[in-house]
Amino acid sequence: MRITAPEGMPRPEGDDGFELLETVWAWFSDDGEWPTYDDVERALYKKGIDAEKAIQQLPPDLLWGLDAGMRFAPQDHQQVQLTAAGLANLAEARFALRGMLMLLRQAVEIERLWAPDPSDRTGRTGARPLIDYATFVAGRDPRTIDPDQLALAAHVAASEPWSAGLNWADGLRGWELSFDKRVRKYAGINPSDLVGYWKRRQEFIGRPEAMTVEEVLRPAVVEPEPAPASELAFTCVLHPEITAVAARRVENGEYADAVLAAYKAVEHRVQQLTGLTDVGRPLMGKALSNPPKITVTTSTGASLQSEQDGMRDIFVGAMQALRNPRAHGADESDDREEAQETLVLASWLMRRLDVAEAAQAAAAVRPAAP
């Protein structure tokens, strides 16, 4: 049965938009994992629906991972996730939405009573309060709880701005949902008060009013001041693997977390391409010292050695200057502009790793010398 979200929450502006939301939910509820854009696009194509036109029927805040109005081209490997408003437009997803609000209410109480480990004087452990299956069911009749539905609700919660992430082990009861002081913004929200939750959520992220696609794309009435002649600005589409880990964090204002996640993604990909298990500076040194284990260079001839040395230093420096302070030191508070610039560098490093992967693939199919 097709429904629409309550008044004050965004709704699709056409049938294809509803089909897109339903496709994302069907994939997620069956598989327990959010689909990629490629998964969604192929499923809609089989129904005779153009995915890009369907996206253009969605106002902001129904999905994570796709840009309302198609101002930026979707990436095939970008994960697509439903927000609370996306769920509110699907009758079959209401149970997960209510479960998410129940988790939130309990998270608010847990955070109020939680204290960090007093033995950790530096604040470097990154410990956060969390809720898991056992904590949620304590004091409740287990016969009233469906572990499968609760696991989906935890996944949904992980996509909302108050969550700090979801850790997953084996089985439907093996999840841990972490959070931090942001849950305080939702104190007093009742699990049946969806509109109240949404209003509080939008105030938190700085968009209190529901917006249509037209409002998002409408040019401003007041013309901006002309930029000085010496100023240069341009738009950069980030590598999809950087977008996948950083987009939601940037959207939530978690700039330091976004930078850390981006450089950890670069680190993980170097591990995959080389088979090395080192991390940080040692990893990059072993991967890119002479002779390098992966080819991230594009120069030939006399310039090759210079570029190899430079690329090694850039990868090593990125780990030392950008990854490590955010992973091991006190909480960093990057501003948005600096975070964007460092994400561009991470994107460039990831594209050089595309070069390495292409070189490996070419070597794998190259015929052996006689």
Compute how many other C-beta atoms are within 10 angstroms of the C-beta atom of residue 202: 20
Q: Are residues 48 and 185 in the same domain?
A: yes
Residue 122 lies in a domain: no
Q: Are residues 246 and 189 in the same domain?
A: no
Residue 1 lies in a domain: no
Q: Are residues 209 and 292 in the same domain?
A: no
Q: Give percent of the chain with pLDDT exceeding 90.
A: 39
Q: Write the secondary structure of the chain as one string of H (helix), E (strand) and C (coil).
A: CECCCCCCCCCCCCHHHHHHHHHHHHHHHHHCCCCEHHHHHHHHHHCCCCHHHHHCCCCCCCEECCCHHHCCCCCCCCECEECHHHHHCEHHHHHHHHHHHHHHHHHHHHHHHCCCCCCCCCCCCCCCCEEEHHHHHCCCCHHHCCHHHHHHHHHHHHCCCCEEEEEECCCCCCEEEEECHHHHHHCCCCCCCHHHHHHHHHHHHCCCCCCCHHHHHCCCCCCCCCCCCCCCCCCCCCCHHHHHHHHHHHHCCCHHHHHHHHHHHHHHHHHHHHCCCCCHHHHHHHHHCCCCCCCCCCCCHHHHHHHHHHHHHHHHHHHHHHHHHHHHCCCCCCCHHHHHHHHHHHHHHHHHHHHHHHHHHHHHHCCCCC
d(CA 331, CA 101): 28
Q: Which has the closest alpha carbon to 255: 190, 322, 309?
A: 322
What local confidence, expressed as pLDDT, does residue 32 receive? 80
Residue 320 in this model has a pLDDT that exceeds 50: yes
What local confidence, expressed as pLDDT, does residue 331 receive? 55
Q: Are residues 11 and 66 in the same domain?
A: yes
CATH number at residue 358: 1.20.120
Give the tens place of pLDDT for each residue, 59-90: 888 888 776 655 667 778 888 889 899 999 99
Q: Which residue range(s) make up the domain with 75?
A: 7-115+129-216
Residue 81 lies in a domain: yes
Boundary-marking domain end, from 216, 232, 265: 216
Handedness of CA 52, 53, 55, 59 (dihedral sign): positive
d(CA 249, CA 254): 5
Q: Which has the closest alpha carbon to 185: 136, 253, 133?
A: 253
- Amino acid making up residue 125: T
Q: Which has the closest alpha carbon to 186: 220, 211, 152, 160?
A: 160
Q: Are residues 105 and 163 in the same domain?
A: yes
| Average pLDDT over the chain, rounded to an integer | 83
Range in 63-77, 113-127, 177-191 the model is least confident about: 113-127
Q: Note the residue count of the chain.
A: 370
Q: Are residues 58 and 185 in the same domain?
A: yes
Q: Are residues 248 and 198 in the same domain?
A: no
Q: Are residues 259 and 149 in the same domain?
A: no
Give the tens place of pLDDT for each residue, 248-263: 888 888 888 899 999 9
What local confidence, expressed as pLDDT, does residue 221 receive? 46
Residue 225 lies in a domain: no
Q: Write the secondary structure of 281-300 as one string of H (helix), E (strand) and C (coil).
A: HHHHHHHHCCCCCCCCCCCC
Residue 26 in this model has a pLDDT that exceeds 90: yes
**Per-residue confidence band for 216, with pLDDT thresholds at 50, 70 and 90:** very low
Q: Are residues 206 and 146 in the same domain?
A: yes
Boundary-marking domain end, from 200, 216, 232: 216
Residue 233 lies in a domain: no
What local confidence, expressed as pLDDT, does residue 63 receive? 86
Q: Are residues 212 and 303 in the same domain?
A: no
- How many structural domains comprise the chain? 2
Q: Are residues 249 and 356 in the same domain?
A: yes
Torsion angles phi and psi, residue 168, rounded to 5: -130, 130
d(CA 311, CA 283): 14
Residue 229 lies in a domain: no
Residue 359 lies in a domain: yes
d(CA 105, CA 115): 18
Residue 306 lies in a domain: yes
Q: Are residues 186 and 247 in the same domain?
A: no
